[in-house]
Amino acid sequence: MGVIAVLGVGPGLGMSIARRFGREGFTVALVSRQAARQAAYQESLRADGIESRAFQADVRDPVGLRKVLAAITDDLGPIDTVYFGPVAMEPGAGPMPITEVDAAAAREPFETLVLPAIELVSAVLPDMLDRGTGAILIPGGLSGKYPIPMLGRLAPASAALRMYVLTLHEALKDRGIYAATLTIGGLIQGGDIHAAVTRHFAQSEAEPPASLDPAEIAETAWSMYVGRELPESEFSTLPIPA
């Protein structure tokens, strides 16, 4: 089928995307900041008969991002599909009520999420356009679509990322390139944040919040890739504001 580059891969959705596309014959390039878990990721995929290669890079670094994309292409061939998993934020850089957000607080999500996504697209798009084929899948947060005041710190960047991908979809849909976003509201099973929250609730003996199945999200992502029409799918365990 080709090569899918899963950037910012983690044990939750990133690995589910890798596994779902790998089952269809894609060779998987796993990209993460640290190499500690890459061997386990590759062994898990190998057990399912999926070929993968592991690469180490911080996708927030434009130079490093372009170097790793070039290395993937040199090693595996042209990249058909890229999946950009949002990079984990630094400690203390998570949600913040919108009433407490200043410019400095809002800046970090742009630098962590939006700008690396744009840099990624600018790096892979010329080759995709030359070949007349390719796909770009970028997940984003529900606060970019609905007003959720407690997630307000993330809202400006989430909204910008969502509109960037939707606009890409419109610009590229008649040129053989598919761009789409997965709008996610809630914890994803298997991910690091889900594990931390689960431990917290286990210690307090309270019921943890509902979570999303990454395999189901990955299945939808595959259906979107095949159909190449929907610019967005939404997954949420959060109440949607009226």
Question: Which range has highest mean pLDDT (46-50, 192-196, 234-238)?
Answer: 46-50
Residue pair 91/104 in contact by the 8 Å Cβ criterion: no
Q: What is the mean pLDDT of the chain?
A: 89
Q: What are the pLDDT digits (tens) for 183-192?
A: 998 888 765 6
Q: What is the DSSP string of 153-203?
A: TTHHHHHHHHHHHHHHHHHHTTTTEEEEEEEEESEETTSHHHHHHHHHHHH
How does DSSP classify residue 209? P
Higher pLDDT, 36 or 26: 26
Which residue, 48, 14, 45, 43, is CA-closest to 31?
Answer: 14
Q: How far apart are CA 125 and CA 116, in angstroms?
A: 14
Higher pLDDT, 208 or 117: 117
Q: What are the pLDDT digits (tens) for 4-24?
A: 999 988 888 999 999 999 999
Q: How far apart are CA 67 and CA 99, in angstroms?
A: 40
Q: How far apart are CA 36 and CA 75, in angstroms?
A: 21
Question: Is 202 inside any structural domain?
Answer: yes
Q: What is the DSSP string of 195-208?
A: HHHHHHHHHHTPPP
Q: 225: domain range?
A: 2-236
Question: Is 242 inside any structural domain?
Answer: no
Which residue's structure tokens are 């090693």?
Answer: 75
Query: The domain that contains 208 carries what CATH number?
Result: 3.40.50.720
89 backbone dihedrals φ, ψ, rounded to 5°: -80, 160
Q: What is the DSSP string of 14-63?
A: HHHHHHHHHTTTEEEEEEES-STTHHHHHHHHHHTT--EEEEE--TTSHH
Look up the pTM and report it.
0.90
Determine the residue type at 208: P
Q: How far apart are CA 130 and CA 128, in angstroms?
A: 5
Number of structural domains, the chain? 1
Residue pair 182/235 in contact by the 8 Å Cβ criterion: yes
**What's the chain's length in residues?**
242
Question: Is 208 inside any structural domain?
Answer: yes
Question: Is 116 inside any structural domain?
Answer: yes
pLDDT value, residue 94: 60
Q: How far apart are CA 123 and CA 117, in angstroms?
A: 10
Question: Is 203 inside any structural domain?
Answer: yes
The answer to whether residue 50 scores a pLDDT higher than 50 is yes
- The angle at the Cα of 120, spanning 144 to 214, to the nearest 5 degrees, equals 55
Question: Is 192 inside any structural domain?
Answer: yes
Q: What is the mean pLDDT of residues 47-68?
A: 95
Question: Is 241 inside any structural domain?
Answer: no
